[in-house]
Each structure stands twice: as structure tokens, then as C-alpha cells.
Amino acid sequence: MPMYTGLARVARTTGYPVVEVKNWKGRGHGKMRGCKTIVPHHTVGPTTGNYPSLRVVRDGHSTLPGPLSQLGIGRDGTIYVIGAGVAYHAGKVRKTAYSNPYAIGIEAENTGVGEPWPHAQLDSYVKLCRALIDEFKLPVGAVLGHKEICAPVGRKIDPAFIEPQMTMAEFRGYVRRGYYSAPVADVKPAGTTKPKPKPARKAWPAAALPVTGGHTTASHAAWVKLLADVGYKDKSLTTAMQRWLRGLGYYKGIIEADRGQAPVFGPMLVTALQRFLRAKGFYSRAYRIDAKRGTATVKGEIRYINSQTKHYK
Ligand SMILES: [Zn+2]
């Protein structure tokens, strides 16, 4: 049975840099008996460097001789091809198909305790798994994390995708698709978030205007609507109000707009408005007809406007 001397070729199809570790084609604890499982791991190695675990993965340690996996992935996505025969990565497993003679191991550099996985490394990881299942004609379900194949279950936690958080099922989802992309929450380019819909402001007369001593955009709009609805549609509210109050017999001044002049909300118009409001009961005798459009006048206007909602129901 084979030494998998095609692994470097397979790794190159990912598009990521491939490092062929010296003598990799002859490295292994004997020949593979087949390839039924692809097993991702994390190294639990040093926190710095691109692939500081290379020596351990290649040579092993005091109690376990290397190679400890056929493939490795550095933090920048570089793929290290370390062995072509059996590697000691799986340990005790739940099925023969998961055991070292049938399983290719990938040791990706990560401390396993929350170190964020770089995007390139995850993408390389996904693409390498995809390339391997394509090479060995395996289903996506043959990609099984060490934590999934180990016996007893719970003996291993790798690979731990903590940041970004990812389950093995999600990892296999990316393998099925063929590339990794960060979860939406991690990539939020400016300008692509939907603007919050503004709460619909109910226009008069759907909602009564607050009675305040000053006019607002809403009260202005209400006046415009009210006058337009009784036939006074002008470019300027002042002009419309002059025409309206003249029609009712209150306004005796000029209408500037008819003379090509800018409309003026002058004393004669305010006086007419105050008289009108008083006649309708919205400007009491406590206030003088003083030709000044002060707080009492504006409050009277708004109360009058609100009283007109009766015509809109
Ligand atoms: Zn492992």
C-alpha cells in the first residue's frame, strides 16, 4: 500500500504556499493502508511564529516519535508537507476507518485556547480538506475533527475554533462549498448595514400636535394642509393665510405675492389671525389683540388646527 507522495501536488491546488519539508516523501511509520478520513487538529504550540510546531510535528517528542501528521498549516495559510506514510496523530479512535493507517492528519498552528484564527489560515484549512477529499474521492463527512473521532469521546478538544467560533459541522459546510468566509458578524464593511427605519411620524391630523408656544415643521405642515384643503394653495403659507383670512373678512392688508413681492407676515395679518382665533374661541380675552405673534397666539393657532381633525375623520 502507498506512500502518499502526491500530497504536495494536492496541497498546491489550494493556491496557498506549500513548503515541502526535506525527505517528506520517505517519512512515515510505514505505509498507509488507505485514506478514509481527513482529521483536522490544532498544535497547541508556541504563540509566535508562522509554524513553530514544525519540528515537533516532524520529529515527535520523548514519548511519541514523529511524524505526528502528514500535513501542517501555518498561521498565514502556508501548507507544510511533512510525511507521506503513517503519522501518529489519531491515537485511540472509535472506528478503524479513523485510525492512523487510514487517516491523514493536518496539524494547524493554534494554541487552542482562544487564539484567533487568521482568515487566510482557515481558508487554507478548508481548501486543503476540500482538495484531499476530492483527491481521495471521499464525502465531506469524511472530514472529522480529532475531537470527533477520539475514544473515549471527550479525550480531545481539537480542533477548537473559538475565535471565530465554529462547529465542525460549520467547518464541513465551508469544505463542501470549497472556501472559508468569515461569519457576517466579523465582516461589516461601513455603509452596508441597513439604516434603521425611522419610526413613522404620524402627520396631522392623524395625531394631534403638541400645543407649544412655537411653531414646528409639523404645525407649519398642518397649516399648509388645512388651508390647501379649503382652496388656498400658495407657494408661501403667509400668502395662503392672507387670502384665507381676507376671504373670511379679517384681513384688510395687501397680498404681496400678487404684486411680485415677497410675502410678509406683518402686523395686519397677525391682527387678523388673532381676531379670527378669538372669534373661534382659541384666543381668550385675557390676551390682547396686539399684532404680535407670541406664545398665546401660536398656542391658539395650534389648538385651532387640532380642532379641525373633526373634518378628517
Ligand atoms: Zn489532535
Helical ranges in the chain per DSSP H: 7-12, 54-59, 119-135, 146-149, 168-177, 217-229, 237-247, 267-279, 295-307
At CA 134, angle to CA 129 and CA 138, rounded to 5?
85
Distance, CA of 108 to CA of 167 (rounded, Å): 16
Domain encompassing residue 174 = 7-183
Judgement on whether residues 276 and 136 belong to the same structural domain of the protein: no
**28: closest CA among 53, 58, 72?**
58
Judgement on whether residues 151 and 224 belong to the same structural domain of the protein: no
Judgement on whether residues 224 and 295 belong to the same structural domain of the protein: yes
Cα(41) to centroid of ligand 1, in Å?
4
Judgement on whether residues 25 and 169 belong to the same structural domain of the protein: yes
Cα(178) to centroid of ligand 1, in Å?
23
pLDDT by residue (tens digit) across 18-43?
A: 999 999 999 999 999 999 999 999 99
Cα(111) to centroid of ligand 1, in Å?
12
Tell me the three cell numbers of residue 291: 399684532
Tell me the three cell numbers of residue 258: 400678487
Cα(98) to centroid of ligand 1, in Å?
12
Cα(87) to centroid of ligand 1, in Å?
12
Judgement on whether residues 175 and 255 belong to the same structural domain of the protein: no
Cα(86) to centroid of ligand 1, in Å?
15
Judgement on whether residues 221 and 173 belong to the same structural domain of the protein: no
Looking at residue 196, what is its pLDDT? 66
Total domains in the chain come to 2
Cα(278) to centroid of ligand 1, in Å?
88
Domain boundary among 183, 205, 226: 183
Cα(273) to centroid of ligand 1, in Å?
86
In a domain, 193, yes or no: no
Distance between first and last Cα of the chain: 88
- pLDDT (tens digit, 0 to 9) for every residue of the chain, 313 residues total? 699 999 999 999 999 999 999 999 999 999 999 999 999 999 999 999 999 999 999 999 999 999 999 999 999 999 999 999 999 999 999 999 999 999 999 999 999 999 999 999 999 999 999 999 999 999 999 999 999 999 999 999 999 999 999 999 999 999 999 999 876 654 555 555 566 666 655 788 888 899 988 888 889 999 999 999 999 999 999 999 999 999 999 999 999 999 888 888 998 999 999 999 999 999 999 999 999 999 999 999 999 999 998 888 7
Domain boundary among 163, 183, 203: 183
In a domain, 188, yes or no: no
Judgement on whether residues 38 and 161 belong to the same structural domain of the protein: yes
pLDDT by residue (tens digit) across 138-167?
A: 999 999 999 999 999 999 999 999 999 999
Distance, CA of 123 to CA of 278 (rounded, Å): 77
Judgement on whether residues 133 and 230 belong to the same structural domain of the protein: no
CATH at residue 64: 3.40.80.10
